[in-house]
Each structure stands twice: as C-alpha cells, then as structure tokens.
Amino acid sequence: MDAEHNPIDSTAVWGGWATLAWGILIAAIFMVTQVSVLGGYIAANYGEASEREIASLTEQLLLNGTVISLATIATFIIGSLAIIGIIKLKKHSQISSYLGLKLPNREQTRYWLTIFISLLLFSELLSYFLDKYEAHEFMVSAYATAEPLWLLWIAMVVAAPVFEELFFRGFLLTGFQRTFLGTTGAIVVTSLLWAVIHTQYDLYYMATIFVMGVVLGLARVRSGSLILPIGLHALVNGLATMQMAYFA
C-alpha cells in the first residue's frame, strides 16, 4: 500500500522523529500565532483594561467570530509558510510530491465525494437520534459576532481546511507513513491529533471529527492527492458555516 500510493523517494522525506519534532514546532507556531492575534485584538480595542478585565475579555473573545477569523487566517499564512520552509530544508525534497499537491482524477473525486457525503448524512441522522442535532455554542457565537461576516467564511471554508490538511494529511501523514506506524497507523494517529485540537467541541463531536479524519486520510493516500481532502474538508466546513447561519 505504501509503495503503491506513495512513490516518494524516502531520502527526500523527513523521518519519523524529525517529522514529530518539526510537527511540535509547527504546533507551537500555531499556538503563538493564535495567542498573538488575541493579544493584539485586546490591545487594539481594550488597551486600558485592567488585568481582571483582560482575563474576562479573553474568555469572551475565544467565542468571538472576528477574533476566530483573524487568528485562523493568520495561522493559515504563517503555518503554511512554516510547513513549506521545513520541507525545503530537506535535501532533494519537492514540495508538490511531498504534500501531494496534484489534482485527483474525476473518478477518484466522485468516489470519495460520494463516501464523504454518505458519512455526513449518516452523522446527521445519528446526531438526530442521539438528540445531538443542535448547533454548538461555539459555532453560533462565532457567526453572531463575526464582523465582517465574509471574513469568517474565508477563514472557515478556505484558511482552516488548507492549513489543517497541509499539516495533518500533508506533512505529518507523509512522515509518519515511513515509520513503524505504516500507512494505517499514520492515518489513525493524524486523525486522532486532528480531533484533539478541536477542544471547543465535546467528546461526541470530537469522535465525529476523528472518523472524518480517517476518511480524509484514506482519500489522501488512495488518490495520492492532498487537493481532494482539502476540497472535502472545505465542503464540510462550508456546510457547518451554513448551519451556523441557520441557528444564529
């Protein structure tokens, strides 16, 4: 499976430990960027607030759509550049083949789009029967407080899917595949890590995100294209943003 769907020269890819170390650095960049945007927003709009007021503001702004949009877009720009830079540091590496930046064919696109939509429909039905069919507070609050609203759409449908897929199904998955984890283990581990970062949701939604991550990982490996999971990810985020609009 690895050789068939990932014909990349192993010498042109960071090994498992290096991938893990670089991944931790990228995660740190992610966190610093998020905190910096939040701090900059508070400084620009509440410059004279006391420490107690800032603590209260921070809790509120974590649900603010404008802050979320700015932080997501900033992370997309800085994080994506960091990933590209790290890949270029590896001798003989080619960014397009490393990350799978090629278009999938029509048959692959139809196949995985059908599977993904089927998964989304099953998830919606399951949520309905488990009485989970409601918008999360995070989603409703983000949509209601986003200004301008188009910035939230760009953040959710473009910035977040591109960066997260570059990181999880692009950089991490490619490196972890070449360890004892193999392709299956790499898909599971990256899907788990992807689910864990969505701390704004409860365990049910995090489990749903994990399953989606597994499907996205399979689509990445089977098609050899990262563009495909980026498109599927953008689709689900677009539908989620539409749901935000409905409930808000």
Q: Which residue has the higher pLDDT, 130 or 94?
A: 94
d(CA 157, CA 237): 6
What is the reported pLDDT for 72? 96
Q: How far apart, in whole angstroms, are the C-alpha atoms of residue 240 and residue 92? A: 40
Q: State residue 9's pLDDT score.
A: 56
Highest mean pLDDT among 7-11, 52-56, 134-138, 196-200: 196-200
Tell me, what amino acid is at 84?
I
Q: Measure the CA–CA gap between 228 and 248, rounded to whole angstroms.
A: 30
**Least confidently predicted of 26-40, 118-132, 224-238:** 118-132
Token reading at 179: 């360890």
Select from 177, 168, 166, 167 the least CA-distant residue to 4: 177
Q: State if pTM tops 0.75.
A: yes
Lowest mean pLDDT: which of 143-147, 228-232, 244-248?
244-248
Question: Cα–Cα distance between 172 and 165 in angstroms, integer?
Answer: 10
**Distance of alpha carbon 220 from alpha carbon 50, whole angstroms:** 48
Asked if the model's pLDDT at residue 104 lies above 80, the reply is yes
- Radius of gyration (Cα) for the chain, nearest Å? 19
| Res 248: pLDDT | 64
Torsion of CA 174, 20, 237, 75, to 10 degrees: -120
Q: How many helices (H) does the chain have, and how many strands (E)?
A: 13, 0
Name the one residue in this structure whose structure tokens are 């360890």: 179
State the pLDDT confidence band at 243, using cuts at 50, 70 and 90.
confident
CA distance 226 to 5: 12
pLDDT tens column, 188-213: 999 999 999 988 778 888 999 999 99
**Over residues 153-176, mean pLDDT:** 97
Domain coordinates in residue numbering, the chain:
2-247
The one-letter amino acid code at 190 reads T
Per the model's pLDDT, the better-predicted residue between 36 and 51 turns out to be: 36
pLDDT for position 3: 38
Residue 247 has pLDDT above 90, yes or no: no
Give the DSSP letter of residue 198.
-
Percent of the chain whose pLDDT exceeds 90: 67
Q: Please answer whether residues 172 and 216 qualify as being in contact, where contact means their C-beta atoms are separated by less than 8 angstroms.
A: no
Taking alpha carbons only, the member of 229, 186, 222 closest to residue 16 is 186
